[in-house]
Amino acid sequence: MSYSMKLARLTALAAGLSLVASACGGDDGGGGSGDLAGKSFTVGSKEFTEQVILGQITILALEDAGATVKDETGTEGTALTRKGLESGEIDMYWEYTGTGFIEILGNSPEDVPKDPQELFDAVAEQDAKNGVKWILKTEANDTYAFATSQETSDSLGVTTISDFAELANSKPEDASLCAAAEFLDRDDGFPGVEEAYGFMLPDDQITEVDLNIIYTALPKADPCNFGEVFESAGQIPANDLVVLEDDKQFFPGYELALTVNDSVLKDSPELEDVLQPIADKLTTEELQKLNASVDVDGLPEEAVAKKWLEDNSLIG
């Protein structure tokens, strides 16, 4: 499915969800003393666990600084979340540099700078023309990966994506793959992996599922032996999964950074100082712990965000 087709479908979905949200009401939080007293912001995020946690962290930090904040976290997919930022429906959300470079700005995966800072600088420079500022680059890298169970890895002799590609070409029924819809459609996702590693997995060996299902499906090898994962996912260690080595270094860096509407940042430059301590604390390991608190331990995203901020003396 093309980006434009997906955007049209998701826009229709968003219209329906907007009506529901209006009917239910949406309380704005915050408003008090602090560096952002008197300011109002709308914070967005995509729908998966990590994004919602990051959105809640941002909301709580802004409220702690005195701002009034509207919660618009949990939007489905990159296309619609980004559309919200460009249209002014949201003021900011956390995005990934690799996603920005390829999926949003339309660059080729082959042109992605390997150095994380160079990638961030390239995205920031290109996106400035769209009225979007990239700030607060973190050390957290939530890159795509392929994973499997230790048992499957051992029995099939697959430890790298090159091994997987060889298996897909020789015994595709053993290379069955579970993946989310967006990964199967993105140039920096499965189509790009097939091209870079020289294989083509038959459609009947690909199962499109919700991302969270993959982590618990792989230990059972049902309905697939391999799956798309995010390296920062807390379910990887929780389910004893093995991440395949990206031996051709296809997947670009997906370092986290905050994307902000340019006019919002010009009006409230204090945003960067308020949120910088959060960016300084965010690493891949921290994301994995945060994600595990929700996806493994079953805690609510807002509670996890609040505890993390308090434990790191970032609010209060």
pLDDT of res. 31: 64
Residues 33 and 115 placed together within one structural domain of the fold: yes
Domain termination residue (choose one: 197, 213, 243): 243
Top-confidence residue, 252 or 19 = 252
* Cα–Cα distance, 141 to 243 (Å, whole number): 15
What CATH number is given to the structural domain containing 173?
3.40.190.120
- Tens of pLDDT, residue by residue over 122-164, are 999 999 999 999 999 999 999 999 999 999 999 999 999 999 9
Residues 284 and 239 placed together within one structural domain of the fold: no
Residue 248 included in any domain: no
Residue 12 included in any domain: yes
Top-confidence residue, 6 or 141 = 141
Residue 316 included in any domain: no
- Tens of pLDDT, residue by residue over 94-123, are 999 999 999 999 999 889 998 999 999 999
What CATH number is given to the structural domain containing 304?
3.40.190.10
pLDDT of res. 2: 35
Instruction: Work out how many domains the chain is built from and give that number.
Output: 2
Burial letters 153-183, b for 16+ CB under 10 A, else e: beebebbebbbbbbbbeeebebbbbbbbebb
Give the domain range for residue 186.
144-243
Residue 28 included in any domain: yes
pLDDT of res. 10: 38
pLDDT of res. 30: 61
- Tens of pLDDT, residue by residue over 274-299, are 999 999 999 999 999 999 999 999 99
Residues 162 and 69 placed together within one structural domain of the fold: no
Beta-sheet pairing, 92-96 with 206-208: unpaired
Residues 263 and 138 placed together within one structural domain of the fold: yes
pLDDT of res. 12: 41
